[in-house]
A and B are shown apart, each in its own frame.
Chain A
Amino acid sequence: MLTHNFISTVQLGIKNLLLHKLRSGLTILGIIFGVCSVISMLAIGEGASFEAQEAIKKLGSNNIILRSLKPPENQSESANANRSFEMSYGLSYDDGARLQATIPGIRRVLPMRIIRDNVRFGENVAACQVIGTLSFYPEIVTMDIVAGRFLTEIDEKHRNNVCVITLSLARKLFPYQNPLQHSIKIAAVYYQVVGIGRETNMPEQRTQAGEIEGETLDQFVYLPLSTARIRFGETIIRGQFPSLQFETVQLHQITVQMNDTDAVESADPQIKSLLDKFHSQNDFEMIVPLQLLRQAEQTKRIFNIVLGSIAAISLLVGGIGIMNIMLATVTERTREIGVRRALGAKKRDITMQFLVETIVLSVGGGVIGVIVGILVPFVVSHLAHMKTIVTFSSVFLAFGISGAIGIIFGIYPASTAAELDPIEALRHE
């Protein structure tokens, strides 16, 4: 009996709302926007942070990356601006050895020299980064060998003039030939191509070594570290006569692979203090992907709180809109309320009637909002190629809030209606 009448009350509510389609539609819009914005903003935020976290994870959460930095120029140096000068900075072979020897929990230390240069094969020229490194590079940076092999310890020992090139570089230099049967030329020296690789990694980790344009990001030539050292020397000449700059850098990057994430955390300050002892200049930076990951998670949390507040405010505004309309409806239907009371309706019945109307409005808005809120991220991913993730919890949250708003903002108008004096209400014009 109660449920029968509840259904009738809901039907009556829907009927009353449909009597004023435009008004109900406009009222519901606030909730639709609110719910839709909660879901789609959270989906976009979730997607963006997912991508950031994936990128950081690719750097290797067990790794600590050290990069050489050109120290900021001080007064005396800028005073000699038009004179040639020589500066020496950055990470050294000794740093690598010291780290390996003193820091507990280190699995491997991978030194790298990174030099920008042009590479030629016959008529074809391409800008690339020459990376001098050791044989276990692919294991730390996660690289697939597509053809041939990577550099070996023997190459390193004998300073062989061999190289591995990335797939995109191979395509550029060898449109028709098999690279493995040829040599490429960098600065007058020929290197036999022994392998083709593809980094599955993000290349950003090397942007510090010279400004790289987007297109050359994945054009690498890998040489044995020893070969790179003798062929390219350690001094790079920059600038134009007469203000030539001689920059001496031994290693551009050292990637320290730790045993596990715990070791990363304990080693982090130790590495810093060890290196600081030998680097009076501020000439290196330390990147701890694990920390970045934590920061990204923290950022995401803050982001979610901010988004959540914005969404909550928009839902609040929607709720106030509903309350406003319901108060107007109560005034408009005062006479009806009086009649219903005279015909036996209890205060509770009147409360129910108006509360149900508010809830139908807000839940209806919630349902439409959820649908639109799921569609918007879908469209955004397709048009803007951004990753979006609609989480179940955001849908649940948005829908729950819209229902709660119906109740919270419905109670006041509904009880106003119920508390009307039947006699006064009947007299109302």
Chain B
Amino acid sequence: MSNEVIIRIEGLEKKYILGEENIVRALAGVDLVVTAGSYVAIMGPSGSGKSTMLNLLGCLDRPTAGRYFLGGEDVSTMPDDDLSKARGKRIGFIFQSYNLIPQLTVIENIQVPLFYQGESLAESYDRCVELANMVGLGDRLEHRPTQLSGGQQQRVAIARSLANDPLMILADEPTGNLDSKTGTEVLEMIDRLNEGGKTIVLVTHDEKVAKRAHRVLHMKDGLIDREVIQKTVPGGAGRQSNSGLREINQATKPSDGALAGSANQSAH
């Protein structure tokens, strides 16, 4: 079973027209193919187009030229509502500043993506509790983000990114706000997700973070300047699942193992 193509972009361009003569080409015609199960890190100097790239990949924005196929479907010219749907169904976001909704509890935050998929809070509750258990926050369901440490908040964000069982996870500097110890914990969690088959695209400044990826894309002036293949994507790794997380849990919190073991998101 050859690896399915998750991302295919062709001549992707994003121009910002700021004035008559002042046109910024944030992306200047990028081509890229990412297969299922890949772990891709994007690096590059500030202003090189990393965030623009990630926003386009995340369907938060539309390119000014070029095509973007997400899971085989052209999303480059989709109307706004369909883009929302694509984000809600296929993409999980992890942000540098966690971006949890402050007035919601841990469990409610994890439920948000499913709420917009039309699932009632009662319907999605059990599954989201499982996700909270997986990231080791099963005992903090009713806490608010302000009552959690940064590392804990980012773990809630990881659980939230998994709620809709996405095609891929996009992370913009996920450890940028964390100390190295908690940062490593979060990265290990992401590693496990990838080992479980999830496709990961991550933006980082940190070489050590990038080391964990299969491929590192170095961007410069809106183009992929250079690509380094560090490992090969395990061929025919099968479908992605969250099952990788179970392993970290079993390693760090054995008590959660039994619950996590019943996760229904492992292999379809």
Q: Which residues of A contact B (CB under 8 A)?
A: 1-2, 4-5, 8, 15-16, 19, 335-336, 338-349, 422-423, 426
Q: Say yes or no: B112 contacts A343, CB within 8 Å.
A: yes
> Would A344 and B121 be within 8 Å (CB), given that A15-B103, A423-B60 are in contact?
no
- Binary contact track B114-127/A, C-beta < 8 Å → 1, others 0: 01111111100000
Given the interface pairs A342-B93, A343-B160, A423-B61, the reply to whether A5 lies near B99 with Cβ below 8 Å is: no
Which residues of chain B are within 8 angstroms of A342 by Cβ–Cβ distance?
58, 60, 87, 93, 99
Task: Give A210 to B137 CA distance when docked, in angstroms.
Answer: 93
The count of chain B contact residues (Cβ–Cβ below 8 Å) is 30
Chain B residues packing against A (C-beta within 8 Å): 55, 58, 60-61, 80-81, 84-85, 87-89, 93, 95, 99-103, 112-113, 115-122, 160, 164
**A386 CB, min distance to chain B CBs, angstroms:** 47
Q: How far is the CA of A343 from the CA of B85 in the complex (A)?
A: 9
Residues of A contacting B84 with CB < 8 Å?
341, 344-347
With A4-B120, A8-B120, A349-B116 already in contact, the answer to whether A344 and B99 are too (CB < 8 A) is: no
User: Of A2, A5, A338, A344, which contacts B85 at CB under 8 A?
Assistant: A344
A339 and B99 contact, Cβ closer than 8 Å, known pairs A346-B80, A422-B60: yes
> In the docked arrangement, what's the CA distance between A346 and B115, Å?
12
Q: What B residues does A349 contact at CB under 8 A?
A: 116
Q: Say yes or no: A344 contacts B93, CB within 8 Å.
A: no
Contact B60–A344 (Cβ < 8 Å): no
Chain B residues near A19 (CB-CB < 8 A)? 103
Point out the residues of chain B lying under 8 angstroms from A16, CB to CB.
103
Most buried by A among B89, B100, B121: B121
Name the residue on A nearest B61 (C-beta).
A423
**CB neighbours of B119 from chain A (8 A):** 1
A5 pairs with B115, CB closer than 8 A: yes
What are 7 residue pairs bridging A and B, where the CB atoms are less than 8 Å apart in the complex?
A2-B118, A5-B120, A8-B115, A19-B103, A339-B112, A341-B60, A342-B60
**With A1-B118, A8-B115 given, is the CB distance from A346 to B99 under 8 Å?**
no
Q: Is there contact, CB below 8 Å, between B95 and A5? A: no
B120 touches A344 (CB 8 A): no
B164 touches A344 (CB 8 A): yes
Q: Can you list the 6 inter-chain pairs with the closest CB atoms, starting with the nearest?
A: A344-B88, A4-B120, A344-B116, A346-B84, A343-B113, A339-B99
With A345-B84, A346-B84 in contact, is A1–B120 under 8 Å at CB?
yes
CB distance from B256 to the nearest CB of A (A): 25
Q: Which residue of B lies closest to A429 (CB)?
A: B97
Contact A343 B95 (CB under 8 A): no
CB distance from B109 to the nearest CB of A (A): 9
Q: With A1-B120, A4-B120, A423-B61 as given contacts, are A344 and B89 in contact (CB-CB < 8 Å)?
A: yes
